[in-house]
Amino acid sequence: MRFLSAAGLVTILSGLGAYYATEQLSWFSIVNLIVGPLLLVTVVVVEIGRFRGFTGASSRRVALRWGLGIAAVVAASLAANLLGMRWHSTIDLTVERRYTLSDQTLLICEQIAANRDTEAPSLLFLEDALMAKEVRPLIEAYRGACPGLEVRETRATDAPPEARALLSSADATVLACQPGRCELAGFPSEENISNALLRLGRKRHVRVDFLVGHGEVNLASENEYGFSGLAGALRDEGIQVAALVGAAARAVPKETTVLVVAGPERNLLPAELAAIERYLERGGSLLVLLEPGVTTNLEPLLGRWGFELPKGVLADRAGSPLLEDPKPTSLLLRSYNPFHPVTRKLSNRTLLLMPGARAVIPARKPRPDDDLEGLVFSNRSAWLEKDVVAALADRAIAPDPDEPLGQELPLAAAGRYPRARGEARIVVIGDRDFASNRLLLALYNRDLFLNAVLWLAEDDEHISLRPKAWTPHQDPFTLQQTLAYFYFLAFALPEVLLLLGIHAWYRQRGA
């Protein structure tokens, strides 16, 4: 019997081992997985005599009672598990709260729940996504947070017909689908999945044109000062991005939802300035990023719409020590306008990082009906450094003793201008590099830019805080650390435990 039980165990282990090693249910595994349990059942049947007698007259009542008791425990466990699945409750203890869905995702879920009668989107996790080790808690998080969303794990062959065209892509791991249409999410991360849902649900076409030709940042550039990351982030949310050569275009195109002027270094042509003025008068939206130390003829235009742009660069000793490369001009910002849609979701726990920014003061409304507000403000310890060259060259700077400190200076401002042909909207931000590839994903920089674009596009319902990008730890263990672990864990600790065991054995024999 002992041999049979051992043989049963060995065959089961061999069958499972062969399956896990080859990831295939081969004939070898099947035969072993059938023979092994049969051997064990044989052992149990033959050895049944060693079990308690279940048939004795005196134990019949006890058998019934405990049989019912066990059935009740099984039923209660199943019911508790079913309830647990229904009321999904989790505690995310990861440092980055990786499985706690972001504000953006929760907003999308709310919108899906509100429209569930008319549209029924579903999220399909294909086999390749399920291979990714971290995807399972993410699936559970979506199931728990999005009751209006059908979350399915499916084989590629069972995907709906509208998904077939997308399945040839190497990124075909997660699909967001509605009847008649699917969007590909790519690698199964919260950011990709939520963006796919966002694209699926976007009803209005939004096009953002970046003015080029005056030294503005390059949308296609992948270097650290380029804007390729920003262009990608806009496209991921279903926003069309295009470059607009101002000198070649007589007017801002009608299809343009938002015009972005991202840090021009040279003057615009008078015709371009006139085109922008006409665009705003007909209810257009303009986003301007400025750089300290650079003066162009865009500033008088912004002045006519109420923005005052004092010369100088903002400096602050308070925020910079937190950074790896401390400079007074590298600002950590945490003071926002809590009432404006662009910054309403930001708080003193959601910081921005701007490396060299200028002040943007909402000074005077062109008309009484206009609305002009500051969006982002410096710390009270900040000052406006007039010597821009010295500040940006990292030379020593200090606040002017004659200038009072203690004011929160605005670095970004927004204006609404109701006009006869539509409402014009303008956002001016006193820094360009905060949205560059180097800093876009730092802190909440991306959220400020994308939320400003959404507000300008009058798409307030999608303004949110996006999932934070996860940075995995990829540091190797040094040789010394590895050897220390090896000696301590594989030898020293077992040695101590074994000595304790020998001591217990001698004591038992002595007793």
Partner 1 sequence: MTQRLWALFRKELRTLFASPIAYIVLTVFVALSGVYFFQHLLNYNRLLFVFQSGAISGGSFDAGTIPLQVNSLNDLFIPTSNDLSLFLLAVLPLVTMRVFAEERAQGTDELLLTTSLRPWEVAMAKHVTTYLFVLLMLAVSAIYPAAVVIKSHLGMEHLLALYVGQLGYGMAVAAIGLACSSLTQSQIVAAVLAYAIPFLIIDFTWLHPVLSQGVAQVLDEFALQSHFDSFARGVIELRRGLYFGGIIALGFTVSVGSMEFARAR
Give the other-Cβ count within 10 Å of 319's Cβ. Answer: 22
Do 382 and 354 touch, CB atoms closer than 8 A? no
Report the alpha-carbon distance of residue 37 to residue 35 in Å, rounded. Answer: 6
Pairing of strands 207-212, 240-245: parallel
Report the alpha-carbon distance of residue 108 to residue 192 in Å, rounded. Answer: 13
How many residues are present in the chain? Answer: 511
- 232 versus 310: smaller Cβ distance to partner 1: 232
Report the alpha-carbon distance of residue 302 to residue 307 in Å, rounded. Answer: 6
| Nearest distance, CB of residue 122 and partner 1, angstroms | 15
Do 442 and 353 touch, CB atoms closer than 8 A? yes
Q: Which amino acid is at 502?
A: I
Report the alpha-carbon distance of residue 110 to residue 116 in Å, rounded. Answer: 10
Adjacent-strand bridge partners of 336: 376
Buried b (16+ CB within 10 A) or exposed e, 192-211: bbbbbbbbbbeeeebbbbbb
Give the distance from CA 36 to its chain's centroid: 47
Pairing of strands 422-429, 285-289: parallel
Closest CA to 312 of 436, 409, 427, 439: 409
Q: Is 408 exposed, middle or buried (0-12, 13-18, 19+ CB in 10 A)?
A: middle
Would you list the DSSP string of 175-233?
EEEETTEEEE--SS-HHHHHHHHHHHH--S--EEEEEESSSPPPSS--STT--HHHHHH
Report the alpha-carbon distance of residue 449 to residue 377 in Å, rounded. Answer: 15
Report the alpha-carbon distance of residue 174 to residue 166 in Å, rounded. Answer: 10
Report the alpha-carbon distance of residue 219 to residue 368 in Å, rounded. Answer: 37
- 144 versus 238: smaller Cβ distance to partner 1: 144
Token digits for 122?
């579903």
Distances 26 to 15, 128, 452 between C-alpha atoms, Å: 9, 22, 57
Give the other-Cβ count within 10 Å of 34's Cβ. Answer: 12
